[in-house]
Structure 1
Amino acid sequence: MQNNRIAVTSLGGSGEEARNCFLLEAGNHTVLLDCGVRREALGEFDRVYPALTREIAGRLTAVFLSHAHEDHVAALPYLYELGYRGNVYGTEETIRLAGGFMKKWADFVTSAGGRLPFSVETMNRVAFSTISLGSQVVEGLSVTAGRSGHMLGSCWLRFEHGGKSLLYTGDMTLAGRLLATDLPPESDGAVVDCAYAGRTLSQTGQYGALVDLAEEVAAGGGKLLLPVPPNGRGSDILLHLCENLRGVPVYAEANVAALCGELLKERKWLRADVCGRISGAGEESNGAGLPCGRIDAVALPGRQIDAVALPGGRVGAVALLCGWIDAVALPCGQIDAMNRANTFTNAISIPDVQSRSLALSAPGPAVYLTGDGMMSGPAAAAYFEALKGDARNCILITGHTARSALGSRIFDPAFRAQAGLAARAERLTIKVHLDDQDVIALNRSVRAKKILLFHAPLESTRELTGKLRNLGVDARCGLEPRALEL
């Protein structure tokens, strides 16, 4: 390759839904963009981990992360096992979260009886270094990072070399309700998220349908379970329900509530209109479970939340400006209500197993958010067992689930019969990626002449690839040597 050229090879992710990993060669620089796994292919090594080799690991000069989700970071220990000894760069927030996602992956594999291609000691050897939003030089390479709106700390990355530029969107959305997305500058080429390829989704319409479904289930006397990833989509859904669902208590597992609270304090990542709505709320207004099960409940002016009498609990009402809260005191805790006109977090946090049991046994309709989008953990299993037998109840999946996960099996008639699942199972996509229309709109601004699509099955991208080619873009998808060269 000539010294002023840029080439990108997909080692995973292009033409499939996960194990995102791209090899970027720019002159004397050879770097990796993300290094993830594919959960639903467990047991098929070549489909779980990126197509990495010792030769590739040995010539890498750096690794850059777009965000912390497992399909972008969980193969990092494997890379080090192959001999990589350099740094892994990401935003401060991504680095803070990445270790937890790597551990979660390792725990999942071992609990499923699988074998990891690396040791726990190797996990601890991953050498993280921080990059900032904006332009900088990292390992001699010119890099610009901007907010991508997918989750806390997520960013797109733009590389410049030899008068050429390449954009890597990472996972990106143009429709986030909380997180801001910075529009990337013009680039010669781009590696672009197209997770919703073949579809065009209205985020406003999807959120409207979410509230409609919650109200429908409540009107029938049922309970709605929302398994959500606590990082990203979970916060959007929690706050939307708190703002728009009337007369139905909204419960959130502590990991969902706490991360939502953390997100609301990270002002540099939020949309400007969101910052205005929570102006003056301060660190207290986080809706998260506090030590000993204490709950902070925050009300909107003009809102009223009906009291829920829990066994062994007590109910307290706190007067606010134009409305009032009836909140639930869980065991070992109490309610703090803060009279803040611009604060909008009022979910009831569930900090422990006993609180979960009490919340599930409360009479009447309710909405529960558990921080496990695929329903693979013990909390999701507890909700499933408690709610499955009542046909008035509903389980709503809002994102991708691996085929082997409980979040997918609830749609299988044979499994439903075997498990005694009478509750409804529904799907409703809440956008945290790009659809066809988004990809085309993004490239009207970026003006890339060559695009490598990723994060969607090959068959789903055919229509989008055709649309881009009709617009004069050299668009492609799949695992090809030097799939994109500038």
Structure 2
Amino acid sequence: MFQVEVWGGAGEHGRSCYHVQFGQRSVLLDCGVKKGQKKEETYPKLDADKVRMLTTVFLSHAHEDHSMAIPLLYRHGYTGVVWTTRSTVRQLANYYAKWQQYVQDAGDELPYTSEHMEQVRYRFVEDMAPPGQWFTVEPGMQACWGPSGHLAGSIWLLLCVDGQTLFYSGDYCQDSRLLAANLPDLRYVRDLQVGILDAAYADDEATQEQLVDDLVSACKQVLERGGHVWLPVPIYGRGHEIIDVLAEALPGTEIVCDTGLEVSFQAMLEEEQWFKTEELHLYKQRWSSRVQVLTREQLLHKSTSLKKAIFVTSDPMLQSKASAKLVEAFATSPNNALIMTGHVYPGTLAARLLAAEQSVPRVLHYRYKVHQGLPDVARMLDGLKPKFSLLVHAPKAKTDRLKAKLTARGYDHVYSCAPGDQLVFCGRTLGTATSND
């Protein structure tokens, strides 16, 4: 018997955190935060007593909604290690700095100190085994990992503890233009008991090809109308793919980016193992020939230029002072437009602009796919065949819709949960499903 307790991330977008109890052993999968207007929902619903008893912790990738609450574990008495990848750890410093600034700008304080951050000890899965192969975490506990296609260093995890198996997809995407992604060898999942699956796009069935066509068309329309296009993106992740897409689709258009994306581009060159070799080679050529890196001041000046350009900056929620200034500059022309390409957190400047009926500059939303929707979840269920599946990373109502559609297609034992819920598995049956709320 083992149980999965949702401390965050199911029935919502953000603060991914899953406590898994395998008999006398327990592991935690990710420990992130959530931006928004409800401060009580910023951090996971941690149980301090259970945190102290954790056997180990796994971190799937660096994005703040999976990582920024890790030091809280050490505040609550955890003394073990965090298993992850070197690429993830290299990225974390930037995310910690931005999260601290976000909290400070909101007039709040971090619930952990720099001492707790320094206590975090990492071990690297790639030191133990290549992707797709088992390694021993401790006697009785084995792990297998592989690239999840979400950003450099992002991984899925397969755990086997005393004969009980669980798959955690992390943030998964098979549609990445640049990043490699795969799934475990089918021999390893012949008796997979539980899958915790990225379902961030819920029942959406749009393909990446459709989404890219829509994004390119939207950019063309703004440029043809005489406006600049601005795409705020994460410093690591979809931003570079979008630059690559637009550089290829709009060969005569100038593309400018900030120094943050230059930093992450240089990091990509040192971590080629996460990328599709030929595609990365082509992107290097496009970057050197098509992308101009500008400082904050230069970006502001560029926004007044008559020659229209595509701006790409590394602040997806527009929370920095530099972004606020650029918003003001873009607002001087009704022809300019911001295009959001990912999830927009409530309470952020990006959300307020997107919700405004007649905002200047115009704010549009055209998603670029970095998660899974209905066809992708179905494909993962077909490949892994878990006996029970927990759908995560989307609001509860959307997850309920996805569950209903999957059930109608013949997929059994698929669950939609919320923070505080517990699923207890007894062999081939679900023992109990309870909520602490």
Q: Structure 2 length as normaliser, TM-score?
A: 0.90
Distance 2:39 2:79 in 1: 27
Alpha carbons 1:62, 1:139 under 8 Å: kept = no
Distance 1:273 1:467 in 2: 37
Q: Which deviates more from structure 2 when the two are superposed, residues 470-479 or residues 232-241? A: 470-479
Q: Which structure 2 residues correspond to residues 400-419 of structure 1 after superposition, within 5 A?
A: 400-413=343-356
Alpha carbons 2:317, 2:349 under 8 Å: kept = yes
Distance 1:158 1:104 in 2: 31
Distance 2:163 2:423 in 1: 20
State the SS of the aligned residue for 1:448. coil
* Structure 2 counterpart of 1:137: 136
Distance 2:183 2:54 in 1: 29
Change (3 A) 1:182 1:484: farther
* Structure 2 counterpart of 1:222: 227
Look up the equivalent residue of 1:371 and give its one-letter code. Answer: S
Distance 1:380 1:481 in 2: 38
1:82 matched to 2:76: yes
Distance 1:48 1:372 in 2: 19
Q: Which deviates more from structure 2 when the two are superposed, residues 157-166 or residues 131-140? A: 131-140
Which of residues 232, 237, 242 is equivalent to 2:237? Answer: 232
Bigger Rg, structure 1 or 2: 1
1:360 matched to 2:360: no
* Structure 2 counterpart of 1:334: none
1:349 matched to 2:293: yes
Alpha carbons 1:6, 1:24 under 8 Å: kept = yes
State the SS of the aligned residue for 1:432. coil
User: What displacement does 1:366 show?
Assistant: 0.7
* Structure 1 counterpart of 2:159: 159
Distance 2:306 2:351 in 1: 28
Alpha carbons 1:20, 1:71 under 8 Å: kept = yes
User: What displacement does 1:162 show?
Assistant: 3.2
Distance 1:238 1:409 in 2: 25
* Structure 1 counterpart of 2:433: none
Distance 2:24 2:286 in 1: 47
* Structure 2 counterpart of 1:253: 258
* Structure 2 counterpart of 1:21: 17
Alpha carbons 1:395, 1:424 under 8 Å: kept = yes
Distance 2:80 2:152 in 1: 25
1:96 matched to 2:90: yes
* Runs of 4+ deviating beyond 4 Å: none
- Structure with more of its chain in helix, by fraction: 2
| Unpaired segments ≥5 residues, structure 1 | 288-296, 299-345
* Structure 1 counterpart of 2:389: 451
Which of residues 202, 207, 211 is equivalent to 1:202? Answer: 207
User: What displacement does 1:353 show?
Assistant: 2.9
Alpha carbons 2:300, 2:326 under 8 Å: kept = no
Which of residues 316, 327, 331 is equivalent to 1:384? Answer: 327
* Structure 2 counterpart of 1:66: 60
Alpha carbons 1:264, 1:286 under 8 Å: kept = no
* Structure 2 counterpart of 1:482: 422
Alpha carbons 1:262, 1:286 under 8 Å: kept = no
State the SS of the aligned residue for 2:170. coil
State the SS of the aligned residue for 1:433. coil
1:270 matched to 2:264: no
Change (3 A) 1:113 1:448: same
* Structure 2 counterpart of 1:341: none
Q: Calculate the aligned-residue CA RMSD, in Å.
A: 1.9
Percent identical: 31
Alpha carbons 1:225, 1:396 under 8 Å: kept = yes
Alpha carbons 1:452, 1:484 under 8 Å: kept = no
Q: Which structure 2 residues correspond to residues 454-465 of structure 1 after superposition, within 5 A?
A: 454-465=392-403
Distance 1:55 1:124 in 2: 22
* Matched residues, number: 413
Which of residues 1, 7, 15 is equivalent to 2:3? Answer: 7
Alpha carbons 2:327, 2:361 under 8 Å: kept = no
Alpha carbons 2:37, 2:347 under 8 Å: kept = no
User: What displacement does 1:130 show?
Assistant: 1.1
User: What displacement does 1:257 show?
Assistant: 2.9
Q: Which deviates more from structure 2 when the two are superposed, residues 169-178 or residues 380-389? A: 380-389
Q: Per-residue CA shift, 1:433-459, capped at 9, x if unaligned? A: 000111001111011120011111110
Distance 1:160 1:397 in 2: 39
Q: Structure 1 length as normaliser, TM-score?
A: 0.81
Change (3 A) 1:207 1:52: same
Change (3 A) 1:244 1:258: farther
| Unpaired segments ≥5 residues, structure 2 | 428-437
State the SS of the aligned residue for 1:410. helix
Distance 2:109 2:300 in 1: 34
User: What displacement does 1:42 show?
Assistant: 4.8
Alpha carbons 1:61, 1:139 under 8 Å: kept = no
* Structure 2 counterpart of 1:438: 376
Distance 1:264 1:39 in 2: 31
